[in-house]
Amino acid sequence: MSAVEKPMQDESRHDESWFAARASRGVQGLRAYDPGHDLVAFRRKFGEGLVELGSNENPYGPSPAARMAMLDQLHSLHRYPDPLGLDLKRALAAKHGVDVAQILLGNGSHELLMQLGQVFAGEGDEVVFSRYGFAVFALATQCAGARARVVDALPRTHATMPLGHDLDAIAAAITAATKLVYVANPNNPTGTWFGREALVAFLARIPADVIVVFDEAYAEMADAPDYASALPLLARHSNLVVTRTFSKAYGLAGLRVGYLLGAPGLVAVMERVRESFNVNGPALAACEAVLDDAVHLKWSLERNAAERAWLGEALQQRRLRAFPSQTNFLLVEFGPDTSLVEAALIAQGVILRPMGGYGLADCLRITVGTRDENQRLLDALDRVLA
Ligand SMILES: Cc1ncc(COP(=O)(O)O)c(C=O)c1O
């Protein structure tokens, strides 16, 4: 063995814990985001027979205009995209009635939620969010090295919004150390939501120096009269941030585009950590195109709402409790045999999302699919429950 080879061999023995010990304090305690089952392997195994209802994707896909817009981009793949994504930002600014300077684009809203933690929280700081709040809130907090204050959700027995965010308790949990509050409306994985009155009362209780992030990934799907987006309140509260995504209602999960709306000053500070060219050219073009196709969006949202109601009823007929949802998924109680039920469904090629990581091991989260997918799920479920 030569003297040159030896140190190489020593280095190759360093395992994850060796590197973790050298990571920043936050990353040392961090666990990677759990994306659910290995769908690529399942696709290989089940082919067309696979029913994918685990990732809250939009089964109807994007407006056909998205594909045309992307094709048009293929001749310039050797060029960097517009670093600022200005055309898309202009379209979003017009849609939401805000200034272009109030918008930041992300490679998915996941990226933006993480960066909010990175920018506004650090060691010694606290970040407040609800139990059963979207998983990325905890990851962003941990990654930033901040302390999570996890507030109990409304109880399962709650008359109208079981497992929903307890906004009073969240406001009460804020201390002098709190830098950031995350709330999701509607929330994943519970599907729960809140309305304008609750929103206004909540914001009135938040100190002006605490940044409140409203994750509205499913906002377009919410059609309940008691649901309200925080967007109209942006003008009144400069400590308010709203995140949205093209992954859900617009059916572009594969392209990874999300955006944030907030005060121009907040966006300018967030810009400092944004990676260069973080949204690619075909994705920018596709997003502009889908914003222009209101007819497809409306059709897709109506289908989702109808299937959500139909599936919810079908589950209820099978004496399974589905929590109220304003999204494209249902959180469903399966009781003590949940993992057995899940395994038996997987054996039939039906993939749902287990909820043990959220502390809801007796539940599975079911994405609302097309009628055909929902029917295949129910058929498989009937075989399992029999
Ligand atoms: C509540 C919520 N927020 C944010 C996201 C992240 O979405 P994306 O990164 O695709 O924009 C998701 C994805 O499932 C979500 O459920």
Q: Tell me the pLDDT of the chain averaged across its residues.
A: 95
Among 56, 107, 110, 290, residue to substitute to test ligand 1 (most atoms within 8 Å of Cβ): 110
Q: What is the pLDDT of residue 7?
A: 56
* Gap between the Cα atoms of 67 and 381, Å rounded: 35
Q: What is the pLDDT of residue 5?
A: 57
**Domain edges within the chain:** 39-56+295-385, 64-293
- Asked if residue 185 has its Cβ within 6 Å of ligand 1, the reply is no
Q: What is the pLDDT of residue 36?
A: 83
* Gap between the Cα atoms of 169 and 147, Å rounded: 17
**Fold agreement between 39-56+295-385 and 64-293:** no
Cα(260) to ligand 1 centroid in Å equals 12
Q: What is the mean pLDDT of residues 47-52?
A: 94
Q: What is the DSSP string of 326-344?
A: SSSEEEEE-GGGHHHHHHH
Q: What is the pLDDT of residues 347-379, one digit of tens each?
A: 999 999 999 999 999 999 999 999 999 999 999
Q: What is the pLDDT of residue 12?
A: 72
Phi, psi dihedrals of residue 323, rounded to the nearest 5° = -75, 155
Q: What is the pLDDT of residue 1?
A: 47
Contacts of 196 (CB under 8 A, 6+ apart): 228
* Gap between the Cα atoms of 209 and 226, Å rounded: 28
- Asked if residue 253 has its Cβ within 6 Å of ligand 1, the reply is yes
Share of the chain above pLDDT 70, in %: 97
- Domain covering 39-56+295-385: architecture: Alpha-Beta Complex (3.90)
Q: What is the pLDDT of residue 13?
A: 84
| Three-state secondary-structure class, residue 7 | helix
Q: What is the mean pLDDT of residues 316-330?
A: 98
Is the pLDDT at 8 greater than 80? The verdict is no
138 membership: H or E segment, kind and range:
helix 135-143
Let me know if domain 64-293 sits in CATH 3.40.50.460: no
